[in-house]
Amino acid sequence: MTDDAVISLLVVDDHPVVRDGLRGMFESAPGFRVLGEAASGVEALERAAALDPDVILMDLRMPGGSGVDAIRELTRRGARARVLVLTTYDTDSDTLPAIEAGATGYLLKDAPRDDLFTAVRAAAEGRTVLSPAVASRLVSAVRAPKTPGGEPLSAREREVLALVARGTSNKEIARELFISEATVKTHLTHLYAKLGVSDRAAAVAKAYERGILG
């Protein structure tokens, strides 16, 4: 941490209003200093290298470079900064990759102001901080039925698989789950790999065999 126990911050979010709000919040509180802002994962890497903050508040889904990719690269570089994810998303496909990439903590944007301050202080000390919703998801993922390779299907992958089993098309799945068809295809690719199959029919058959469906 910096001198006089002041925690320096880099705020990463693609929405200017969010960045302004976080900057104002932290600059009005004692013990924090916002060194800079970034609007994408790529820019976050540049700003982190130049500013060397104690903690990076990182959004996940941003055009021009995702937060998870940035976290992974910061970890690879051995960056000193701790990364505290601050996002609106708490799905398995967001939380698990971020934490596996090296995030110190994961909070949702509806967290109370004091909880956010506490989380930043904890992150600066290297302590893990998870919102209750995220902690619950991680526990569920650990307890989920394992595939032959030992890797569980995410909750979203199980949702996609259940719809596939009902004969739902990719377009209909996308509409029902409020995601893009490209995202549906990505989920299918991942669950095929986890189940050790190469098509929809085999995936459904294997899922029934393993007790994932039924």
| CATH number of the domain encompassing residue 19 | 3.40.50.2300
The two three-digit tokens of residue 198, written as one number: 């190469």
DSSP letter at 57?
Answer: E
Is 185 domain-assigned? Answer: yes
Residue 78 predicted with pLDDT over 80: yes
Distance of CA 197 to the CA centre of its chain: 27
Residues 203 and 112 in one domain: no
Residue 139's pLDDT is what?
61
d(CA 170, CA 52): 44
126/91: higher pLDDT = 126
Nearest CA to 39 out of 62, 23, 71, 8 is that of: 62
Is 23 domain-assigned? Answer: yes
132/46: higher pLDDT = 46
169/2: higher pLDDT = 169
Residue 135 predicted with pLDDT over 90: no
Is 121 domain-assigned? Answer: yes
Q: Which residues contact 5 (CB under 8 A, 6 or more apart)?
A: 31
The two three-digit tokens of residue 156, written as one number: 């979203």
pLDDT in tens, 25-39: 999 999 999 999 999
Residues 122 and 184 in one domain: no
Q: What integer is the mean pLDDT of 88-94?
A: 76
d(CA 80, CA 206): 44
Residues 43 and 92 in one domain: yes
Residues 111 and 162 in one domain: no
Name the residue range of residue 41's domain: 7-143
Residues 173 and 196 in one domain: yes
Residue 50 predicted with pLDDT over 60: yes
Residue at token pair 């992958």:
157
Residue 2's pLDDT is what?
45
Confidence tier at 83 by pLDDT (50, 70, 90): very high
Is 75 domain-assigned? Answer: yes
Residues 138 and 90 in one domain: yes
Is 51 domain-assigned? Answer: yes
DSSP letter at 38?
Answer: E
What total of structural domains would you count in the chain?
2
Residue at token pair 């509180």:
29
pTM: 0.66
Nearest CA to 110 out of 14, 5, 18, 205 is that of: 18
The percent of the chain in helix, strand and coil, each rounded to the nearest 5, is 55, 15, 30
Residues 20 and 121 in one domain: yes
Kindly report the CATH number assigned to the domain that includes residue 198. 1.10.10.10
Q: Which residues contact 145 (CB under 8 A, 6 or more apart)?
A: 152, 153, 210, 211, 212
Residues 30 and 115 in one domain: yes
